[in-house]
């Protein structure tokens, strides 16, 4: 059985000319391909699989998952799944609903979608003060950013500075400042699926799962911080009446993004299953040994799955 992960599924928007996304038409073509090649696991089959810890009739089929609760998951994905009688698992980071602000990870995507990398990079460098850098990274930053003046990719460099060189406490403020400088406004209510629409998707047969509160790299947090990321996000989803099966998905994914404390917390909070990012099929053994980090493929590994 294969689980497949999606993020942005949408149409071209001229306000975000550089934005990376899976075109909705290619999403449809990929669903056709999966249908012809493998078939889809029904929700009933999946609940059986969890119950019996055996793939049974689900063997060889596809389960669809969608991360980050972007509004396109309602506008395109849910509508298309409904049309086809399909369902999916949707993973929601809950902080945008409680804080009313787009997560930094998504604000970086939006800025990179709206502006050329070189422009973002020069704006960021103007605003950056070496005191904002992580102590251990200052030397590397100087060498890296001053010796490779030519021929670099502005976008990778922009992301690398924010995600890697800058101290965590300055990151949010710097993103605010870059956006202000470039006159770009973030609109949280357009960006994520609204609570009403999440409820509609849940009632329409989809599973809604936790993707933490603030989408951190969990392995960098203490056990206590990880517990609140997981427990608080489930409380929010419970509060809006969207939890039956309890499921979780590791932010960023892959084995370095979480640790034993994460898995302990998931087990002690009776989470039924969790997804990681690992490019291989789910086998029977995973249902016992890897239930809190089931393998999952990126959609770009299959035909029609490449980002535009
Ligand atoms: Zn995510």
The tens place of each residue's pLDDT in the chain, 308 residues long, gives 999 999 999 999 999 999 999 999 999 999 999 999 999 999 999 999 999 999 999 999 999 999 999 999 999 999 999 999 999 999 999 999 999 999 999 999 999 999 999 999 999 999 999 899 887 777 777 776 655 444 457 888 898 899 888 988 999 999 999 999 999 999 998 999 999 999 999 999 999 999 999 999 999 899 999 999 999 999 999 999 999 999 999 999 999 999 999 999 999 999 999 999 999 999 999 999 999 999 999 999 999 999 98
Distance from the alpha carbon of residue 68 to the mean position of ligand 1, in angstroms? 5
Distance from the alpha carbon of residue 52 to the mean position of ligand 1, in angstroms? 29
Distance from the alpha carbon of residue 106 to the mean position of ligand 1, in angstroms? 9
Distance from the alpha carbon of residue 155 to the mean position of ligand 1, in angstroms? 19
Give the other-Cβ count within 10 Å of 152's Cβ: 15
What DSSP state is assigned to residue 115? S
Distance from the alpha carbon of residue 139 to the mean position of ligand 1, in angstroms? 31
Q: Which residues of 153-223 form beta strands (DSSP E)?
A: 207-210
Residue 133: beta bridge partners? 166
Distance from the alpha carbon of residue 6 to the mean position of ligand 1, in angstroms? 10
Distance from the alpha carbon of residue 218 to the mean position of ligand 1, in angstroms? 12
Distance from the alpha carbon of residue 18 to the mean position of ligand 1, in angstroms? 20
Q: Provide the whole-model pTM.
A: 0.94
First to last CA, the chain: 27
214-242 burial code (b ≥16 CB/10 A, e <16): bbbebbebeeeebbbbbebbbebbeebeb
Distance from the alpha carbon of residue 40 to the mean position of ligand 1, in angstroms? 23
Give the other-Cβ count within 10 Å of 261's Cβ: 17
Please tell me the distance from the alpha carbon of residue 276 to that of residue 291, in angstroms, as a whole number: 10
Distance from the alpha carbon of residue 54 to the mean position of ligand 1, in angstroms? 28
Residue 5: beta bridge partners? 65, 298
Distance from the alpha carbon of residue 215 to the mean position of ligand 1, in angstroms? 6
Distance from the alpha carbon of residue 209 to the mean position of ligand 1, in angstroms? 12
What DSSP state is assigned to residue 219? G
Q: What confidence score (pLDDT) does residue 145 get? A: 60
Closest CA to 26 of 40, 14, 13, 12: 12
Q: What are phi and psi of 219, to 5 degrees?
A: -65, -15
The structure tokens listed for 23 are 């075109």
The structure tokens listed for 115 are 């502006």
Distance from the alpha carbon of residue 275 to the mean position of ligand 1, in angstroms? 11
Distance from the alpha carbon of residue 250 to the mean position of ligand 1, in angstroms? 7
């Amino acid at each position: 059985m294969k689980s497949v992960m999606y993020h942005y599924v949408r149409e071209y928007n001229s306000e975000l000319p550089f934005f990376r996304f899976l075109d909705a038409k290619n999403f449809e073509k990929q669903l056709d391909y999966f249908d012809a090649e493998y078939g889809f696991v029904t929700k009933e089959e999946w609940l059986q699989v969890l119950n019996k810890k055996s793939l049974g009739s689900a063997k060889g089929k596809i389960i669809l998952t969608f991360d980050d609760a972007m509004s396109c998951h309602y506008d395109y994905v849910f509508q298309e799944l409904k049309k086809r009688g399909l369902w999916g698992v949707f993973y929601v980071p809950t902080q945008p609903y409680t804080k009313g602000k787009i997560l930094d990870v998504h604000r970086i995507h939006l800025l990179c979608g709206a502006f050329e990398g070189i422009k973002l990079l020069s704006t960021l460098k103007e605003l950056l003060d070496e005191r904002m850098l992580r102590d251990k990274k200052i030397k590397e930053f100087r060498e890296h950013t001053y010796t490779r003046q030519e021929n670099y990719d502005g976008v990778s460099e922009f992301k690398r500075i924010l995600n890697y060189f800058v101290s965590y406490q300055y990151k949010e403020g710097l993103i605010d400042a870059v956006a202000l400088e470039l006159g770009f406004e973030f609109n949280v209510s357009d960006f994520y699926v609204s609570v009403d629409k999440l409820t509609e998707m849940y009632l329409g047969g989809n599973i809604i799962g936790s993707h933490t509160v603030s989408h951190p790299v969990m392995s960098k947090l203490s056990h206590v911080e990880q517990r609140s990321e997981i427990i608080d996000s489930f409380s929010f989803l419970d509060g809006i009446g969207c939890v039956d099966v309890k499921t979780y998905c590791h932010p960023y994914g892959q084995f370095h993004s979480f640790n034993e404390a994460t898995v302990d917390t998931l087990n002690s909070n009776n989470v039924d299953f969790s997804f990681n990012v690992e490019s291989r099929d789910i086998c029977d053994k995973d249902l016992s040994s890897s239930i809190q980090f089931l393998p999952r493929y990126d959609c770009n590994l299959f035909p029609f799955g490449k980002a535009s």
